[in-house]
Amino acid sequence: MNIYFYELPIGTIGIAGDNNAISRFFFGNKNTFGYSVKETLILKEAALQLREYFDRKRVKFDLPLSYHGTDFQISVWNALLEIPYGETRSYKEVAEIIRNPNACRAVGMANHRNPLAIFIPCHRVVEHNGGLGGYAGGLGVKQHLLDLEKN
C-alpha cells in the first residue's frame, strides 16, 4: 500500500491506495505507518481531481474507491456518495435514507470512521438545526468545504 502527501488549500493531506483504487485519505502528513511513501499514477490522479475540486472545476470524483467497514457503515458511506455537490443532509435524513430512522448517532459514528473524506463527502452531513456537527479535519475545514460548494 502506497501513500503520498499533497498540499491543498486545506493544508497537507495524504492519499493512500494500491495500484487499483484509493483506500484512505488523511488530514496531515503523519500517517505513514504500514505504507510506502511513493507517488503512483492513481494517487497522482486523485490529487489532480482534488485540485480541480478546489479550483471549482470538478463537482464529482471519478476514481476507483476501495473501502471496508460494517454493513451499516458501508450503507451510510454509499448514501453519502449520493448527496449532490452543494447540498447537505442532516444525520437524521441520512438515517432515513438508509431506512434506519432511529440511527442518527450511528450515522455520525459512521461518518467519523469514513476512510475517504472528501471523496466520500461526509462534510455534507450537518446537524438538523443547521450546526456543523463534527469533522475529522476540523470544523474550519468542514466549513471551508461547504462554502466552496455553495459558491
The model's pLDDT over 72-84, given as tens digits with 9 standing for 90+, comes to 999 999 999 999 9
- CB-CB neighbours of 99 under 10 Å: 8
Return the pLDDT at 29.
Answer: 79
Strand 11-17 versus strand 22-27 pairing type = antiparallel
- Do the Cβ atoms of 45 and 87 come closer than 8 Å? no
Nearest CA among 17, 73, 70, 74 for reference residue 47: 17
- Could you tell me which of 102, 93, 86, 68 has the C-alpha nearest to residue 148? 86
State residue 86 phi and psi, 5-degree precision: 85, -5
Among 46, 94, 106, 122, the active-site one is 122
122 is catalytic: yes
pLDDT tens for residues 84-96? 999 999 999 999 9
Instruction: Please give the domain boundaries of the chain with CATH numbers for all domains.
Output: 2-54 (no CATH), 71-150 (1.10.10.10)
